Amino acid sequence: MSTRPMALTAPRDLVTGNELSTAQIRELFHLSADIKAHPERYRSALAGRFLALIFEKPSLRTRVTFEVGIASLGGTAVFLDHQGTRLGVRESVPDVARNLERWVHGLVARTFCQSTIEELAAHASIPVINALSDRFHPCQALADFFTLEEHFRNLRGLKLAYVGDGNNVCHSLLLTGARLGACLRIATPKGYEPDAAVVAEARCIARDSCARIEILHDPAEAVTQAQAVYTDVWASMGQEAETAVREKIFAPYQVNEALLALAAPDAVFLHCLPAHRGQEVTSGVLDSPRSLVYEQAENRLHVQKAILLALLG
């Protein structure tokens, strides 16, 4: 059987996630499912390929799944730790991109600033994959909706409630969910809503996909009869100085047993992890049978393998 992506016309880069059309996401999910069911078919699909991982922030799931992913496809990962010195300090971002493109076949970058990833993509002739920035987390959102499709079989009209900070994960859920025709209710404290430009883009996409986008401030309103309830940390990496203030503001937005009880009887809980137990979510919810957090984490591997095949294959 061919190990090349099946009828997938991939974009050059995955910088925001908005590069993917609905059809491309559907093909990516089809490939992810085949990789998950038949990993042996893809053991040498990227033999001889090298992938550079450039990380300005800590990582567990993203780093491990990309390293294991490329290795299980027959390729090799090279990890570049930039947690001490950010990209652009020792040498310019364009110079980093122009050097790496001579040695490797793709770049995976986790950066503080979205502009850094965009600069890498602008100056590298090889694919650049956003592994999380301050603005987007496309690999996470793709794995999340793949997980939901596994569970519910159909994403069109699926009611997903996101409760918490209107952050990078929220932005990517909005864009990917809009492409797939989901109904997204976002509940944040006032002043912590997702970026207005991202919301406008999601609503523009939703006009064609029949998705629904609601920006709310009442977590109970968002969660009522939702089929999936999602939350994330209240202070993302780089916002540690705001932790104490945010804990007070976001306390009413904790996903606990009482809030989850408002969701549909078959509702599931999602979290991109790491989770701060007792803050944005209780241990009772996180460890409950309704929680799909570890399925999400596993599916990061399968979806990212599909992304690597599509962009590097």
Among candidate residues 137, 171, 179, 302, the one labeled active-site is 137
Angle at 299 between CA 60 and CA 83, to 5 degrees: 20
- How many whole angstroms separate alpha carbon 30 and alpha carbon 133? 26
Whether 254 is a known active-site residue: answer no
Among candidate residues 232, 271, 279, 304, the one labeled active-site is 232
Among candidate residues 139, 170, 183, 272, the one labeled active-site is 272
- Say if residues 46 and 308 touch (Cβ distance below 8 Å): yes
**Which amino acid is present at 266?**
D
* Strand ranges (E), the chain: 50-55, 76-81, 106-110, 128-130, 159-163, 183-187, 212-216, 228-231, 268-271
Whether 41 is a known active-site residue: answer no
- Say if residues 49 and 27 touch (Cβ distance below 8 Å): no
Q: Please count the other Cβ atoms lying within 10 Å of the Cβ belonging to residue 99.
A: 13
Distance between the two ends of the chain, CA-based, in angstroms? 15
Whether 185 is a known active-site residue: answer no
Q: Which residues contact 294 (CB under 8 A, 6 or more apart)?
A: none
Among candidate residues 179, 246, 300, 302, the one labeled active-site is 300
- How many whole angstroms separate alpha carbon 233 and alpha carbon 280? 6
Whether 232 is a known active-site residue: answer yes
Among candidate residues 110, 179, 246, 271, the one labeled active-site is 110
Whether 272 is a known active-site residue: answer yes
Angle at 153 between CA 148 and CA 156, to 5 degrees: 80
- How many whole angstroms separate alpha carbon 174 and alpha carbon 102? 36
Whether 86 is a known active-site residue: answer no
Among candidate residues 24, 114, 140, 227, the one labeled active-site is 140
Q: Which residues are catalytic?
A: 110, 137, 140, 232, 272, 300
